[in-house]
């Protein structure tokens, strides 16, 4: 499963307002609610699941990347959002560096394999330094999406 298949330009924030982990997660969830990818009635439950996951261990995996994720009965397919921060977000990442790229995704409950495959795919994609450099240089959400789409076509 590629990020390109999970994202549209409306699910991308080219410059996040948040400077800390929890407000960044809320900013992306609110985007998904605004785009009708998440039912407003499910927002708080999904945020609680994400918070529970973050309290276990930060999803800031290093190299300026964070992948907050959770499973929920409130979604019937994988939903994702991408946010970029040029100033960096304090995310309590494993390498203690600020996070520049946040990929948040929610997987339907009881789809464990889908959850693992999605997580692995995102981590592998963002592990490529040239991808991170191109995402950082992209000017618009459309240009960011093009980086995802180009990589998916390979």
**How far, CA to CA in Å, does 151 sit from each of 20, 97, 120, 130?**
29, 26, 15, 11
Put residue 152 in one of left, alpha, beta given phi > 0 → left and psi -120 to 50 → alpha.
alpha
Q: What is the pLDDT of residues 86-136, one digit of tens each?
A: 999 999 999 999 999 999 999 999 898 988 998 888 888 899 999 999 999
- Separation CA 57–CA 93 (nearest Å): 9
Choose, from 13, 54, 61, 69, the residue flagged as catalytic.
Answer: 69
- Separation CA 139–CA 20 (nearest Å): 23
State residue 1's pLDDT score: 63
pLDDT of residue 52 exceeding 80: yes
131: its two tokens: 């991808």
Question: Domain 3-153 is in which class?
Answer: alpha beta
Asked if residue 99 lies in contact with residue 64, where contact means CB atoms within 8 angstroms, the answer is: yes
> Is 115 noted as a catalytic residue in this protein?
no
The structure's pTM equals: 0.94
């Amino acid at each position: 499963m590629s990020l390109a298949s999970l994202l549209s330009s409306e699910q991308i924030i080219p410059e996040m307002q948040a400077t800390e982990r929890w407000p960044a997660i809320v900013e992306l969830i609110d985007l998904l609610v605004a785009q009708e990818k998440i039912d407003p009635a499910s927002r708080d439950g999904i945020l609680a699941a994400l918070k529970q996951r973050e309290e276990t261990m930060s999803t800031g995996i290093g190299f300026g990347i964070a992948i907050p994720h959770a499973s929920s009965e409130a979604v019937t397919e994988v939903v994702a959002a991408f946010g970029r921060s040029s100033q960096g977000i304090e995310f309590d990442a494993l390498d203690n560096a600020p996070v520049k790229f946040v990929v948040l995704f929610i997987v339907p409950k009881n789809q464990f394999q889908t959850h693992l495959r999605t997580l692995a795919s995102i981590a592998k994609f963002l592990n490529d330094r040239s991808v991170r450099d191109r995402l950082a240089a992209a000017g618009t959400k459309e240009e960011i999406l093009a980086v995802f789409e180009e990589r998916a076509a390979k």
